[in-house]
């Protein structure tokens, strides 16, 4: 029930509706009012703490509602009583709110908060020391403005001494907080060089690893992992860790935490392992620890299909890592993505033995491809975003496996089917082009659902491209998807992205898609132009926003804007009057003036927050307008294309109707022939029935004749003989009729043979037509090749002509130089010959 309430609260913050936003803003303003009773303030802070249930909600409360400054102001108002329950509550909520958040030193009441923390860290009560240290660790981590502010204070050296004394504290949590603060403030200074030098660093490693493994809880483990991650960012300390002799044993103990069912602990362990992978020396060591001892058991576990987290059995570390990919534990989605990233980093090393690699991949692949299933757009944008991230990481890891060796590629190709990839691409395309406004593709920030869906879709197509030769029907499915009209928008997003990897993926797919006959290149160009126009408009809006950042943004409700602007102006004028009054009445200072200034400063911060939200609404409206323009342009292009296709289909329909009419006329003629044949058959059958009756009459008369022959006289015999003769003549006539019937049957059979021959001729003509069409297609392809060869030959010819002209110029230059040299030689020769003649004359 509590989780359901928290989910509804998170949806309330991220819904973007005006009424909830105003309610939260009013609560924050009421909590920051010094005149509010402490009991009510505590209740409001408890409610806001419930709203801050996840990272996204905490970011909204921090950036949009200025809750950090409000809580800092509350602490400042009650700084005289640091042990008060309200102050401790504010410190705890601030520690939760500022974890991994960007806090600027210039933010309201942050300098006062820092001073309060530095003062009360020296307290004798652990109840106030621990939240102060944790909050100080959050403020100092990766925050140069706060670090510079603390270093510029006069009491920073005593503060360092107090922190160093805390390293001997009996609480591991206090030690971790202290090390984190010292690492943030002194890592690149003389104090830090002494504290984290080669003599002490190994003890620090051992201490931090022990805290990670045997910490006081999830909070201590979280901060100890963050500390180790920050230390690894220093190249010198990272090099120390690669030479740490107990590294393998420590990592093995840390990996043991993956066997638990706690997703928070597993997430921090995976974060630490990913940070280690950023150091090349540590990545190879980690790969050896994780895979080499576990090869045979991993393969055996893979045959037993061990895919769930089994807390009662000590599984191998590699198997535990794979189990987090599909863990049913609540909140394990982040662990799944981190495990995929870690496997991708480790498998890129290439230092795993072939035997262990095959066993591990054999177990890994069924789990990976099971993760691709389950995409359901009806479950909402959060589900779609989560599943698209998962598809991206799975396909990236699969592409990494394809780059290892032939045996691994063979394993992958046996596990992947064309139907699986095709169904995933279809599902992603339906998500990209659903009716939901949040899933409509537009080139916004990198975290937009549009980019997430597009990246997952293009990664899947890249995987299909790599496997199209190894998997049955994969090539057909791949080219079929490239010719789908819906592929245009994600492809245009990739081609206009500022990520190099996305552009390269888009270009490789474009190279495959361009020769296809039904690839919508025109629509792709229009979509890319729309994306570029959107980015240009975004840049213009950002410039305008910077130029008018002091002016409240326009809003749809003009009366609300006027009232907000008037209130803001009245507050500013009131503050100016108060300041003027203070200047004129310096000797009669009022004790309540500072409180009044605090109240109006809180109101100013609230109005600033409202102003920023109004600015966000303006930007959202501008983005929606730009997106609508782009969609209208795309719909116009698609409509024109659809009309062209409709005209083409109409012409094809007319041709089909004309051909159907011809075939109908031919069929009618054949039906008439058949009807005539049926009528002739009926007549023959009737004639045959008459002949049968005549034959029966003949037999009856023959019997009567035989009886009369025995009883009558010769007269009767003669009469009977004459009757017999007449009957014989009739019989002969019947035989002639029977012969005519036989002749007609033969004629009918001949007609049937001719009809079959005509049908065979029609089939042969259809076959000849199809062969001619195939020949035309082949000739077109050869013509394209010939045209390409002609272009290449023309390019080469132009290049050769250029080289020829350059060589002729060089040859002419050489000839000129040769002529000059020849003239010089002749001149020298003439001079030498003249000198010889003079010498001869002198001798004579």
Is the pLDDT reported for residue 411 higher than 50? yes
> What would the pLDDT profile of 625-648 be if each residue is shown by its tens digit?
777 777 787 777 778 778 878 888
Beta-carbon-side half-sphere exposure of residue 535 (alpha carbons within 13 Å): 12
* Angstrom distance (rounded) from CA 433 to CA 64: 31
Least confident of 82-86, 706-710, 717-721: 706-710
For residue 294, pLDDT over 60 is answered with: no
- Eight-class DSSP state of 324: G
* Predicted TM-score (pTM) of this structure: 0.61
Residue 137 binned pLDDT confidence (cut-offs 50, 70, 90): very high
Is the pLDDT score of 313 beyond 70?
no
Contact 110/71 with Cβ under 8 angstroms? no
Residue 174 has pLDDT above 70, yes or no: yes
pLDDT at 75: 92
Q: Top-level CATH class of 353-434+445-519?
A: mainly alpha
658 vs 793, residue with greater confidence:
658
519 vs 664: CA distance, rounded Å: 37
Examine domains 7-13+29-186 and 353-434+445-519 and report if their fold is the same: yes
Q: What tens digit of pLDDT does each residue of 508-552 get? A: 999 988 888 888 888 888 888 888 887 787 777 665 554 443 333
Instruction: Mark residue 142 as left, alpha or beta (left: phi above 0; alpha: psi -120 to 50; beta: remaining).
Output: left
The pLDDT tens digits for 222-259 are 899 999 999 999 888 999 998 888 888 998 888 888 88
Q: Using CA atoms, how far apart are residues 117 and 111, in angstroms rounded to an integer? A: 10
Each residue's pLDDT tens digit, 754-768: 888 888 888 888 888
- State the Cα–Cα distance between residues 127 and 305, nearest whole angstrom: 49
pLDDT of residue 606 exceeding 60: yes
pLDDT of 567 over the 50 cut: no
Burial of 680 (0-12, 13-18, 19+ CB in 10 A): middle
Contact yes or no for 295/355 (Cβ under 8 A): yes
| Mean pLDDT lowest among 53-67, 136-150, 540-554, 806-820 | 540-554
For the chain, what is the mean pLDDT? 78
Q: State the fold for domain 7-13+29-186.
A: 1.25.10
pLDDT at position 552 is 35
Alpha-carbon gap, residue 518 to 656, rounded angstroms? 22
Residues 6+ apart with CB under 8 A from 487: 429, 457, 461, 481, 513
The Cα 307–Cα 39 span in angstroms is: 51
pLDDT over threshold 80, residue 713: no
Tell whether the model's pLDDT for residue 405 goes beyond 60. yes
Question: Closest Cα partner for 398 from 426, 420, 431, 376?
Answer: 420
Does residue 29 have a pLDDT over 60? yes
Residue 125 or 710, more confident: 125
Top mean pLDDT of 273-282, 359-368, 535-544 is at 273-282
The pLDDT value given to residue 349: 63
Q: Where are the domains of the chain?
A: 7-13+29-186, 353-434+445-519, 606-784
Mean pLDDT of 104-122: 87
Of the pLDDT bands very low, low, confident and very high (cuts 50, 70, 90), residue 741 is confident
What's the pLDDT at 544? 54
Mapped onto helix, strand or coil, the DSSP state of residue 473 is: coil
Give residue 507's pLDDT: 92
Give me the mean pLDDT over the 88-102 stretch: 90
């Amino acid at each position: 029930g509590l989780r359901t309430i928290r989910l509804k609260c998170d949806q309330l913050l991220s819904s973007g509706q005006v009424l909830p936003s105003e309610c939260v803003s009013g609560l924050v303003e009421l909590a920051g009012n010094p005149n509010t009773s402490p009991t009510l303030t505590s209740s409001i802070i408890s409610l806001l703490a419930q709203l801050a249930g996840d990272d996204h909600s905490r970011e909204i409360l921090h950036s949009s509602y200025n809750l950090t400054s409000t809580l800092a102001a509350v602490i400042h108002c009650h700084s005289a009583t640091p042990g008060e329950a309200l102050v401790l509550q504010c410190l705890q909520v601030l520690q939760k709110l500022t974890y991994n958040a960007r806090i600027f030193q210039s933010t309201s009441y942050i300098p006062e908060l820092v001073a309060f923390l530095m003062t009360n860290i020296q307290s004798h009560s652990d109840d106030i020391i621990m939240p102060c240290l944790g909050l100080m660790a959050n403020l100092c981590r990766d925050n140069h403005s706060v670090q510079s502010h603390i270093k510029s204070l006069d009491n920073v050296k005593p503060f360092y001494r107090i922190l160093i004394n805390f390293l001997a504290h009996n609480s591991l949590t206090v030690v971790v907080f202290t090390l984190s603060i010292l690492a943030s403030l002194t890592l690149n200074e003389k104090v830090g060089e002494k504290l984290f030098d080669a003599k002490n660093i190994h003890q620090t490693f051992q201490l931090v690893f022990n805290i990670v493994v045997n910490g006081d809880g999830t909070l201590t483990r979280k901060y100890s992992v963050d500390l180790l991650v920050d230390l690894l960012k220093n190249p010198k300390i990272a090099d120390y860790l690669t030479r740490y002799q107990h590294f393998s044993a420590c990592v093995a103990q840390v990996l043991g935490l993956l066997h638990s069912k706690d997703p928070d602990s597993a997430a921090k362990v995976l974060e630490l392992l990913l940070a280690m992978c950023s150091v090349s020396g540590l990545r190879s060591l980690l790969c050896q620890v994780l895979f080499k001892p576990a090869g045979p058991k991993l393969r055996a576990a893979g045959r037993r299909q061990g895919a769930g987290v089994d807390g009662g059995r000590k599984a191998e570390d590699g198997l535990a890592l794979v189990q987090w990919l599909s863990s049913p534990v609540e909140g394990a989605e982040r662990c799944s993505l981190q495990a995929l990233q870690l496997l991708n980093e480790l498998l890129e090393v290439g230092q795993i033995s072939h035997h262990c690699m095959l066993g591990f991949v054999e177990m890994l692949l069924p789990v990976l491809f099971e993760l691709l299933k389950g995409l359901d757009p009806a479950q909402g944008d959060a589900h779609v975003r989560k599943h698209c991230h998962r598809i991206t990481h799975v396909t990236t890891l699969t592409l990494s496996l394809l780059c290892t060796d032939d045996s691994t590629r063979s394993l992958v190709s046996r596990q992947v089917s064309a139907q699986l990839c095709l169904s995933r691409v279809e599902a992603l395309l339906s998500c990209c082009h659903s009716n939901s406004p949040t899933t409509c593709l537009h080139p916004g920030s990198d975290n937009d659902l549009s980019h997430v869906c597009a990246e997952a879709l293009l990664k899947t197509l890249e995987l299909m491209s790599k496997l199209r030769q190894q998997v049955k029907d994969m090539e057909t499915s791949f080219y079929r998807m490239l010719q789908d009209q819906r592929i245009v928008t994600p492809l245009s997003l990739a081609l206009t992205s500022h990520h190099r990897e996305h552009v390269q993926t888009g270009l490789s797919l474009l190279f495959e898609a361009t020769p296809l006959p039904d690839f919508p290149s025109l629509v792709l160009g229009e979509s890319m132009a729309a994306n570029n126009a959107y980015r240009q408009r975004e840049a213009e809006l950002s410039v305008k926003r910077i130029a008018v950042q002091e002016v409240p943004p326009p809003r749809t409700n003009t009366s609300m804007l006027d009232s907000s602007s008037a209130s803001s102006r009245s507050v500013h004028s009131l503050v100016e009057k108060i300041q003027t009054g203070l200047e004129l009445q310096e000797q009669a200072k009022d004790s309540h003036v500072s409180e009044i200034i605090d109240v109006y400063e809180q109101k100013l911060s609230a109005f600033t927050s409202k102003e920023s939200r109004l600015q966000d609404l303006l930007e959202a409206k501008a983005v929606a307008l730009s997106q609508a323009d782009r969609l209208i342009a795309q719909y116009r292009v698609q409509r024109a294309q659809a009309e062209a296709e409709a005209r083409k289909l109409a012409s094809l329909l007319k041709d089909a109707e004309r051909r159907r009419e011809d075939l109908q006329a031919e069929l009618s003629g054949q039906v008439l022939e058949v009807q005539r044949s049926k009528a002739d058959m009926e007549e023959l059958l009737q004639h045959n029935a008459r002949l049968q009756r005549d034959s029966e009459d003949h037999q009856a008369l023959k019997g009567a004749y035989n009886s009369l022959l025995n009883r009558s006289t010769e007269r009767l015999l003669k009469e009977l003989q004459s009757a017999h003769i007449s009957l014989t003549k009739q019989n002969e006539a019947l035989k002639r009729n029977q012969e005519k019937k036989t002749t007609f049957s033969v004629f009918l059979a001949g007609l049937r043979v001719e009809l079959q021959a005509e049908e065979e001729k029609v089939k042969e003509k259809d076959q000849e037509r199809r062969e001619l069409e195939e020949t035309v297609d082949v000739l077109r392809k050869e013509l394209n090749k010939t045209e390409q060869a002609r272009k290449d030959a023309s390019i080469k010819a132009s290049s050769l002509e250029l080289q020829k002209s350059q060589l002729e110029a060089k040859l002419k230059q050489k000839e000129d130089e040769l002529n000059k040299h020849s003239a010089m030689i002749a001149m020298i020769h003439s001079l030498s010959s003249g000198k010889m003649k003079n010498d001869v004359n002198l001798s004579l």
